[in-house]
């Protein structure tokens, strides 16, 4: 692995490092680059310190719920970082804030905000496809949540979640759908935006629950009213229309019989009929 002092350090690392130095939330993170690894989340799993690891390629990239995140070398932004969340009771806010932060970071590259939206809880979608995913893994140590936040964003040739046979997933989208090839998006530029937007979203006041819910509802606008099938943590399913995000971060679904369900523990969410 090559850290910021490594001989093979990519261009762009220095710029990112100086951006991070200018944001207090990132100042203590060690920025590292690895050309190829299995999974950046796996690499940071045992980390006891603050690290931010960017990879050129992953051979065993992980998605949510044990799925696979595949990508083509150099075609995506693949990174993980450690983070400490002090308040376990408000952990439901983490995936929402993470989704909002990634969406905000991608706005300048997506040709306008309307096409970029969140699919609950934190898939980042571009038009009719998924352009980015977030995998947050946590452990409790001394009453604090120690997170590894892993993010994959498709720049060019799309990475995708392997279909696990549980139904059709979304098509994979990539940022280059919004741009001319000559105007290709650079991973370091995206990361430079991300460190800024993450600090903004994660550091909003803890009392900002309502504001968070409202911001999320707005950022997920194309999702509301869509037909969804949700596989719950206990294996049961809920089918209906996604209505809104309820206080506490639950997804409110209107079932076919008109009943309301509030879902917090989705194992899988599929858009039906797309
Ligand atoms: C999902 O949508 O299921 C989450 C995908 C998360 C992929 C990223 S790529 C960088 C980091 N390392 C991993 O192994 N996974 C995450």
Q: Which residue in 243, 203, 239 sits closest to 224, CA to CA?
A: 243
Mean pLDDT over each residue of the chain, to the nearest integer: 89
Whether the CB of 159 sits within 6 Å of ligand 1 = no
- Ligand 1 pocket, mutate which of 38, 53, 69 (most atoms under 8 A from CB): 69
Count the neighbouring beta carbons within 10 Å of the beta carbon of residue 48: 8
List, run by run, the mean pLDDT of 10-residue segments along the chain (274 residues).
51 94 97 97 93 96 90 91 94 95 95 89 92 96 95 79 50 86 84 97 73 95 96 94 95 96 92 82
pLDDT number for residue 80: 98
Q: Is the CB of 40 under 6 A from ligand 1?
A: yes
Whole-model pTM: value is: 0.92
pLDDT of residue 245: 97
Q: Taking a C-beta distance cutoff of 8 angstroms, is the pair 169, 158 a contact? A: no
Distance 63 CA to ligand 1 centre (A): 5
Residue 150 CB less than 6 A away from ligand 1: yes
Q: Which residues contact 40 (CB under 8 A, 6 or more apart)?
A: 34, 53, 54, 55, 58, 78, 79, 80, 150
Strand ranges in 173-272 using DSSP code E only, listed in sequence order: 227-232, 237-245, 251-255, 260-263, 266-271
Residue 167 has a pLDDT of 40
Ligand 1 atom closest to the CA of 152, numbered from 1: 9
**Half-sphere exposure of residue 229: CA atoms within 13 angstroms, side-chain side:** 12
**Three-class SS of residue 74?**
coil
Can you give the pLDDT at residue 67? 87
Which residue's entry shows tokens 């979203």?
201
Q: What is the pLDDT of residue 185?
A: 86
């Amino acid at each position: 692995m090559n850290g910021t002092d490594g001989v093979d350090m990519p261009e762009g690392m220095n710029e990112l490092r100086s951006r991070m130095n200018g944001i207090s939330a990132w100042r203590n993170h060690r920025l590292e680059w690895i050309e190829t690894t299995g999974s950046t989340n796996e690499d940071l799993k045992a980390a006891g310190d603050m690290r931010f690891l960017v990879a050129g390629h992953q051979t065993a990239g992980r998605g949510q719920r044990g799925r696979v995140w595949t990508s083509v070398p150099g075609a995506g932004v693949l990174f993980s970082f450690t983070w400490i969340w002090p308040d376990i009771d408000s952990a439901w806010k983490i995936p929402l804030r993470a989704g909002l932060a990634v969406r905000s970071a991608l706005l300048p590259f997506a040709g306008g905000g309307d096409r970029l939206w969140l699919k609950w809880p934190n898939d980042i979608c571009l038009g009719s496809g998924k352009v980015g995913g977030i995998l947050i893994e946590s452990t409790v140590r001394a009453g604090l949540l120690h997170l590894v936040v892993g993010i994959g964003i498709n720049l060019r040739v799309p990475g995708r979640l392997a279909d696990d046979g549980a139904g059709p997933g979304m098509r994979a989208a990539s940022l280059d759908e919004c741009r001319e090839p000559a105007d290709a998006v650079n991973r370091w530029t995206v990361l430079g935006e991300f460190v800024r937007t993450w600090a903004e979203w994660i550091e909003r006041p803890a009392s900002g629950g309502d504001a968070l819910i409202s911001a999320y509802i707005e950022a997920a606008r194309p999702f509301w009213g869509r037909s969804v099938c949700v596989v719950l943590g206990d294996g049961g399913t809920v089918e209906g229309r996604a209505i809104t995000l309820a206080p506490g971060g639950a997804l409110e679904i209107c079932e076919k019989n008109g009943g309301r369900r509030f879902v917090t523990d989705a194992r899988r969410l599929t858009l039906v009929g797309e």
